[in-house]
Structure 1
Amino acid sequence: MKSPTAQRLGVVPSVFAVEHLSHATFPEDDEWIALVRAPEGLTVVREIWPTASGDRWIGLYGGASPHSLDVPGMLAAIVGPLAEAAIPVFVASTFHGDLVLVPEPKVKEAVAVLEDAGHRVDTTHLRSADI
């Protein structure tokens, strides 16, 4: 299925963790990439060491082909095909693009799904074990 809003995505050369801090309004450190504050607590996205254990997420970033904020469907064009393939995502949007995190064990499948949907994905920063 080709997307009408095909994008150039790049694999971010970091590994991420997504945390929920139920009683925090701000993290105790400044080692975070993204924060979302909600009534049920704080969601924190952090860069972690490649050898860290636990749930690990790989980032796909669409900032390589920035788009105006008023262009509809840009994020849907990415997460839609991933949802159809039953690949979970966590998204943090920026002014220039969207950081779409996928679980590390699903990254190879996610890249294939996105390319099949018409996106171009630069996998330069994937570790050889992930490809």
Structure 2
Amino acid sequence: MSTAQILYVVPSQFMVEHLPNTTFPEDDEWIALVRAPEGLTVVREAPPYAEVERWVGLYGGETAHGLDTPGMLAALVAPLAEAGISVFVASTYHADLVLVPEHRLGEASATLKAAGHQVNGVSA
């Protein structure tokens, strides 16, 4: 099976928060949660007024894959790592949501295209 994927840019911008000593957020405005011994990591839509690092999501829903398909996430994050682009990943049952810093979206898109992926929704 090919690991080439069709990705699209999620229309929202996201923020990633760490809430120490918390087991669940106080609101339900989150996209993804990861609970760890040191606290809770929360991914949520970034409000327009928030002065935070903004992340943009690339989602491979067009090329959904099973949990038993090896290499799909690695095919995305390896070229980004080589290019020095930070990522935060939230995986779903069928695909992965790869967040990249907003200011690096163009570079991330070009990197993924050079690696054989299709990226839709990025202006040239």
Same fold (TM over 0.5): yes
Runs of 4+ in 1 over 4 A off after TM superposition: none
Letter aligned with residue 60 of structure 2: G
Which of 92, 95, 102 is residue 94 of structure 1 equivalent to? 92
Match of 2:81 in 1: 83
- The CA deviation at 1:65 is 1.1
1:32 and 2:30 correspond: yes
Unpaired segments ≥5 residues, structure 2? none
Contact 1:14–1:50 (CA<8 Å) still a contact in 2?
no
Letter aligned with residue 88 of structure 1: S
Match of 2:42 in 1: 44
Q: Distance in 2 between matches of 1:7 and 1:51?
A: 33
Q: Percent identity?
A: 68
Count of aligned residue pairs for this structure pair: 123
- The CA deviation at 1:50 is 4.1
Unpaired segments ≥5 residues, structure 1? none
Match of 1:61 in 2: 59
Partner-residue secondary structure (3-state), 2:107:
helix
RMSD over aligned Cα atoms: 1.2
Letter aligned with residue 36 of structure 1: V
Which of 82, 106, 114 is residue 116 of structure 1 equivalent to? 114
TM-score (norm 1): 0.90
